[in-house]
Amino acid sequence: MARVQISGTGLFTPKESISNEELVSSFNKFVDEYNESNKESIQKGEISALEKSNADFIEKASGVKSRYVQDKSGILDTSFMRPKLRERSENELSNLAEIGSIAGQDAISNAKIDPNNIDAVIVACSNLERPYPAIAIEIQNELGIKGFAYDMNVACSSATFGIQNIYDMIKSGSIRSAIMINPEMCSGHLNFKDRDCHFIFGDVATAVVLEELKEEQVSDNCYEVLGTKLLTEFSNNIRNNYGFLNNSSPEGIGKADKLFHQNGRKVFKEVVPKVASLIKDHLESHSIDINNIKGMYLHQANESMNKLISKYLLGFEADQSLAPIVLDEYANTSSAGSIIAFHKNNENLSKNDLAIICSFGAGYSIGNVIVKKIA
C-alpha cells in the first residue's frame, strides 16, 4: 500500500484582532445597558441581573488573550454584537471559500505542488456557510483543481478526521494527492452576550496538502503520516442547534441555543482523560514511547486542558517547545487550532522526529495523527 506524506500546510489570519480588554469593555457596556433597561424586572425578581466580565477572568479560565476576527466593529457594537458581514451575491466567492482559498493557496505554495496534480479537495470545518453547493467545490473551482470535492463536519475534530479520509484514499490508491481546508469563522456562531463563552472563539483558515510519498520526490519540510486514530461518543455538553429546520419551528428562532453553548466543567472533566487515553493507545499500537514524541500539536481550546493532557501522558506539564500554545493569540479556532500549532512550529522538528496532531471537541469527537519528519 502507498505511504502518505504531509507536504505543505497553509494559514490565513484575518487582519483584525480583538484583545480581551476591548472585548470586556464592549461586554460590560452591554451588561450596563441590559441591567438598566430591565431594572424593574430585575428588582421584582422576574429575571436576574447580568454579571460583568474582566480580562483576568478570561485569561485565567482559558489562556486566551486575543482573537482574530473577520469583522471587529459589529462584534464590539453593543446594539449588534456579532460580525457584520455583507451579503454576497451568488456570483461572488462566499466568505468561507474566500478565506479557505487563501489558506489553500499558501499550502499549495509550501508543498510546491501544481494544482493540476491535486486530485481532491475536502473542506472540513465546524460550521458551513450553506448546505449546497459544497464550499469545497467552490474552492476547487477557485484554485483550479480537477477531480472531486466535498464538505464534512466533525466539529473541532474536522481536520484530523479529514486527514484520515485523505490518508485512507491515498493508501488505497484511489487518489494520489488531496488538499484538506479548514475555514473557521467561529465568531459567527458565538454568543457575545454570554459571559461564560463570549471570549472563546476566533476566525482563521488552515490547509494541509497530503500526497503519496515517493522517496525521490520528497520536498523540504515533509512529514510521513504513520497512522491515524478516531473516536466519537455522543454528548450534549457542547452543542449548537442552528439548522435548516429552525424555520419550521418559529418559536425557537433567535433563541440562545441556536448559537454555541457548553457545560465547560463537564467537558473538561470528561474529555481530558479520553484524549490522553486515545493518544496513549494509538502510540502503543505503533510501538512508540511517548517520551520519543518531539512535538504535541494539540487542539487549541483551553490552555489548562492541554497542560493536563500532557501531564497525563508524560507525568509533567509539557512546555511551549514540546506542546505549543497558539490560543493565546488566536483563541479557539475549532478544527484549525491543532493545524495552526503544527504550521507555526513544525520547523522546530529535526529529521526522523516523531510528533502528533490531535483534536477534540463536540460530539464528543477525538482524532489523532502520528507523523514523522522525513525532510
Q: For the chain, what percent of residues have pLDDT higher than 70?
A: 99
Cα within 13 Å of Cα(361), Cβ side? 29
Residue 251 lies in a domain: yes
Mean pLDDT for the stretch of residues 250-279: 95
pTM: 0.96
Per the structure, the count of domains in the chain is 1
Which helix (H) or strand (E) segment holds residue 208: the answer is strand 203-212
SS3 362: coil
156 catalytic per annotation:
yes
Only one residue has cell 508524560, namely 314
Rounding to the nearest 10 degrees, give the CA dihedral for residues 125, 129, 131, 133.
-100
Residue 262 lies in a domain: yes
| Given 125, 156, 197, 358, the catalytic residue | 156
Q: Is there a domain that residue 244 lies in?
A: yes
pLDDT at 215 over 90: no
Tell me the pairing of strands 148-152 and 120-124: parallel
Residue 217 reports pLDDT greater than 80 = no
Residue 231 structural domain: 226-373
Is 80 part of any domain?
no
List pLDDT tens digits, range 349-365.
999 999 999 999 999 99
Q: What is the pLDDT of residue 218?
A: 65
Residue 278 has pLDDT above 90, yes or no: yes
Question: How far, rounded to the nearest angstrom, does the alpha carbon of residue 158 sit from its chain's CA centroid?
Answer: 8
Which tens digits make up the pLDDT trace of 5-47? 999 999 999 999 999 999 999 999 999 999 999 999 999 999 9
* 341 in any annotated domain: yes
CATH of the domain at 325: 3.40.47.10
150: confidence class by pLDDT, cuts 50, 70, 90:
very high
> Does residue 101 lie in a domain region?
no
| Residue 202 to residues 260, 325, 329, 361, Cα–Cα distance (Å) | 13, 15, 9, 16
Q: Is residue 189 part of a domain?
A: no
For residue 181, being part of any structural domain is answered with no
